[in-house]
Amino acid sequence: MLGNKCEKCQAEFFPPVNICRACKSIDLKPLEMPGAGKILSYTLQKESVAGFEEQEPMVFGLVELSNGVRLVAQIVDFPYESLKIGSKVKAVFRRVKADGPSGQIYYGYKFGPPRSPRETSATEE
Amino acid sequence: MPSILILRDNQYDPQYRNMRDVFVLGAGTTKYGKSHLSARELALEASKKALVESGIEPTDVQAGFIANAFSLSEKQGHLGPIIMSGLGIADVPASTIESACSSGASAIREAWVNIGAGIYDCMLVTGVEKVSQLDTITATTYFSFGSDYIFEGACGASFPGLYGSIARAHMSKYGTTEEQMANVSVKNHENGMLNPNAHFHKKITVDDVMNSIVVASPLKLYDACPFSDGAASAVLCSEGFMLKMNGHASEAIKIVASGRAGGTGALHQRPDLTTLNAAVLAGREAFKQAGLAPKDIDFLEVHDCFTIAELVALEDLGFYPRGEAAKATQEGQTRINGETPVNPSGGLKAKGHPVGATGVGQVVEVYEQLNSRAGHRQVKDARIALTHNVGATGGSCAVHIFEKN
Ligand SMILES: [Zn+2]
């Protein structure tokens, strides 16, 4: 998860921005996001959007990373019943959805428990 | 250092210098629901009704805006010339305004700007949507194109899911309950029963909502508005044009305020998940422009795409303190005969949500209510009304205030 950081005021962003949203500086450098975060809110979704049919129902959450950056991600390997606002999660690298029409495989980030049983973490902390 | 979540990126207050007064001369709608008609046919039906209500001929229309979000799903873009040609006025300029679910109010807003600025004296605004040809997953996917798709939709998040996240955050922060949200749905279905143009004519109970299937926890099927087909249309004009209209001028409604604001396309980039900042800003601007406060509003039409959205709207617009709209709804304060009637039309939940038409349809309801023509759902002594139309999870919002002339 590559975001960026404002060289002037140190604010961090994901996805990366062209202009710092805090101080409007254009002096930004790429920065790898931390993999650790916590759940701000979450939902168990019966029907998703095209490409996710085989994963339904799926859980996704609004995650706040340890640096304060927020994103939406599918939550995996986490028993839904034990999921709470504030639960700690960690980024994992996964196949995101069904393959594309010409066979391309969509990989990306999802989030799992802090100690994910099956996967290595997507980013170093 | 933590990332920065900005509430307002600039402090600019729009200046409306030398704006002329703008009026809704007439408005009309098709029935909302599943239709066998195409978008263009629906749009023409509503447009003709608005013209008849206004007592004008198509040739009186000087320019138009079409509000639409998903016509490409019917393999038709460029709706402006299609609809103007259908009305026999192909040379009249018209273009599409797209702002997801707030396309309708955005188009009303742009017509208000054009007439207020003195460019045109009479404009036709028609909102239309036709999606019932799509299966549910395709429709949900189209709708998700209105989110920050790469970072929301492409991660699997649908609109029910995003609003489900808002609902859970609201429940956690304010103690709002699923039963309280269900009350919104029950009330709007009750109102929809009284609206002949509503998608649903079905009375439901809190238990019905609670027992309906979970769509995106904690939201259930009866917490969600339907995908609807439909069109709504309004004729906007200047005071000079209105006064030439003899009889029809007496039914004209004055637009006393038009406020709008933006928000991040992505829900997660907002500092607080329990409020739509765009709605707060748009509402504040509209009240300031009108010189009015929530207590002056006789009824509102708000964007209840999900039950939680109506509660958040009432709090964003300042009708209730944070966390208190749920209790007020439970007490019946927002029913047609309550202190603050909300969505007498049935709202998006029961009247339906033909995306591009929704914001224009709210104006149709205001036009009928303020002219005491709303039948059994008439709000007693309604003179001042507010509409609130939201794009997606709050990437855009427009708030209008209307007053009986
Ligand atoms: Zn900066």
Nearest-by-Cβ selection for B144 from A49, A55, A62: A49
ipTM of the shown complex: 0.88
Greatest distance between any 2 Cα atoms in chain B: 65
At B14, the pLDDT band (50, 70, 90 cuts) reads: confident
Strand-pairing partners, residue A93, are: A109
Give whole-number Cα distances, B48 to B30, B43, B61, B184, B234, in Å: 10, 9, 12, 33, 10
The CATH number for A41's domain is 2.40.50
Query: Do residue A41 and residue A92 come from a single domain?
Result: yes
Give percent of chain B with pLDDT exceeding 70. Answer: 97
Return mean pLDDT, chain B.
95
Residues of B noted as catalytic? 101, 353
Q: Do the Cβ atoms of B213 and A46 come within 8 Å?
A: yes
Q: What is the DSSP string of B209-256?
A: HHHSPEEETTEEGGGBPPP-BEEEEEEEEEHHHHHTTGGGGGG-EEEE
Domains assigned to chain B: 22-130+228-250 (3.40.47.10)
Is A123 part of any domain?
no
CB contacts of A40 in chain B (<8 Å) are 165, 169, 268, 273
Q: Among A12, A31, A52, A72, pick the best mutation site for testing chain B contact (most B Cβ within 10 A).
A: A72
Is A100 part of any domain?
yes
Query: Do residue A7 and residue A50 come from a single domain?
Result: no
Give me the number of domains chain A comprises. Answer: 2
Burial class (CB in 10 A: 0-12, 13-18, 19+), A92: buried
* Pairing assessment for the beta strands B396-404 and A36-45 based on DSSP bridges: unpaired
Q: Is the pLDDT assigned to residue B34 strictly greater than 60?
A: yes
Query: Do residue A13 and residue A26 come from a single domain?
Result: yes
Q: Is the pLDDT assigned to residue B245 strictly greater than 50?
A: yes
pLDDT along chain A (125 residues), means of 10: 95 93 94 96 90 89 96 94 96 88 87 71 44
* pLDDT tens digit sequence for B215-230: 999 999 999 999 999 9
Q: Do the Cβ atoms of B158 and A42 come within 8 Å?
A: no
What is the distance between the alpha carbons of residues B14 and A36, in angstroms, rounded to a whole number? 42
HSE (side-chain half, CA atoms, 13 Å) at B52: 8
Total-model pTM:
0.94
Give every CB contact of residue B358 below 8 A, 6+ residues apart in sequence: B101, B104, B127, B129, B232, B303, B348, B389
Query: Do residue A27 and residue A44 come from a single domain?
Result: no
Residue from B11, B6, B7, B13 nearest B285 by CA: B13
Nearest-by-Cβ selection for B140 from A10, A49, A55: A49
Mean pLDDT, range B344-360, rounded to an integer: 98
Q: Do the Cβ atoms of B156 and A97 come within 8 Å?
A: yes
* pLDDT tens digit sequence for A92-102: 998 888 888 88
CA distance B10 to chain A (A): 11
Name the residue in chain A with its Cα closest to that of B166: A41
Q: Is the pLDDT assigned to residue B36 strictly greater than 50?
A: yes
